[in-house]
Amino acid sequence: MSSQHKQTKPHEKHPHFSHLPLSTSGPQDCALIGTALLNTPYFNKGAGFTPEERETFKLTGLLPQNVQSLEHQVKRAYQQYSTRADDLAKNTFMTSLAEQNEVLYFRLIQDHLKEMFSIIYTPTEGDAIQNFSRLFRRPDGCFLNINDIDRVHDDLAQWGSPQDIDYIVVTDGEEILGIGDQGVGGILISVAKLVLTTLCAGIHPNRTLPVVLDCGTDNEELLNDDLYLGLKHPRIRGEKYDKFVDTFVQSARKLYPRAYIHFEDFGLPNARRILDRYRPSTPCFNDDVQGTGCVTLAAIMAGLHVSGVKLSEMRMVVFGAGTAGTGIADQVRDAIAADSGKSKEEAAKPIWCVDKPGLLLQSQGDKLTHAQIPFARPDSELPSNTPTKHITATLLSVIELVKPQR
């Protein structure tokens, strides 16, 4: 770490990453001193400040005398983590650590990733999100609310200059990790997803921005909880919702033109619709639609390679035709089309989707979502001598009908 009050020799970039335009190595400029420095998790090094740094940044008297390495600090932090009584308590400990010392936080996870993955993300993060308003201590991320649309641009602008943000994860909290509508608590899924982008993709945590779009909630338990921190009214939908989302997207693009927008855990009526609206003009991604789809496609391709079956020969049943299920179906359909030269309509024929009403059929009409329509089967495909409801009602009956390839 260097100070603006002290000249340091320039450091060479890391040989493995020097070709990257935003790569950094060596000391970072820091204008903070004293307790302000120790209270800033990005710069705080805890007991790791050298004697020279303690003099330069006026930390003498604010820290114990023994200077300890990052490895020693990780050992101490892991011992503290291990004493926590349950997974939620461990999750809360990690949140507090991130708010104190960011480098130590990431190093601790990196050293114990296999053990801690389920603590910092699913399933424990789901418990933390459900208890967000009860565990709340310090805000993290950007909170935008639908009743203050005119303030969205100014609120977003507080997070830096145009070149400061590379990646934005945004949610409206409607469909979180399979536990449903969590309102403003959805901010924690944006935070947690960005932790993974740092650990697994090397995106600098200080160049990311977690966002929640608070539109209210239809979760009665939250609405009746006097500690709930979000807007306490039912979810606002329709034209006002669309204007809110559009104001966020346009503001984010104007303020942070380099930033990629990652839509996370939006509800079924909105996830695909929003992605389709902005994908042609905005660098954006929906994890539930595209992320789940591409990972599943990779697994299918590997399985087909081992079994010697061509992609175009496969018959597939998708059980659960929500945001993720239709995203998987989309990816497989597009892969079949690319592999065989077929149209997307033809490529969709080997894919059968099942949702709450059973097999998706064209006769279901308005009950189908926009994303489900391409995969709805003509009723004429069903055997005429058996009642439709019997054929399509259960997963087993659909499998017996379709005979998907193993």
Report, as residue numbers or ranges, the catalytic residues. Answer: 121, 193
Q: What are phi and psi of 373, to 5 degrees?
A: -55, -45
Does 288 count as an annotated binding residue?
yes
Taking phi over 0 as left and psi of -120 to 50 as alpha, with beta for the rest, 61 belongs to: left
**8 A C-beta contact, residue 243 and residue 237:** no
**Residue reference for tokens 């399985």:** 303
Does 164 count as an annotated binding residue?
no
Please report, as a single letter, which amino acid is at residue 103: V
Reference 137, options 103, 99, 102; nearest CA is 99
**Residue reference for tokens 């929906």:** 286
| C-alpha–C-alpha distance, residues 317 and 236, integer Å | 35
Q: What are phi and psi of 138, to 5 degrees?
A: -140, 130
Does 264 count as an annotated binding residue?
yes
**8 A C-beta contact, residue 230 and residue 222:** yes
Reference 264, options 352, 171, 355; nearest CA is 171
- The string of DSSP codes covering 220-275 is HHHHT-TT--S--SPPP-THHHHHHHHHHHHHHHHH-TTPEEEE-S--HHHHHHHH
Rounded (to 5) percent helix, strand, coil in the chain: 50, 10, 40
Mention every residue, 6+ apart, whose C-beta is less than 8 A from residue 110: 199
What's the token pair of residue 63?
Answer: 């820290």
| C-alpha–C-alpha distance, residues 214 and 397, integer Å | 41
Q: What are phi and psi of 283, to 5 degrees?
A: -65, 105
Q: Within 10 Å of residue 289's Cβ, how many Cβ atoms?
A: 26
Binding residues for a divalent metal cation: 264-265, 288
Binding residues: 264-265, 288
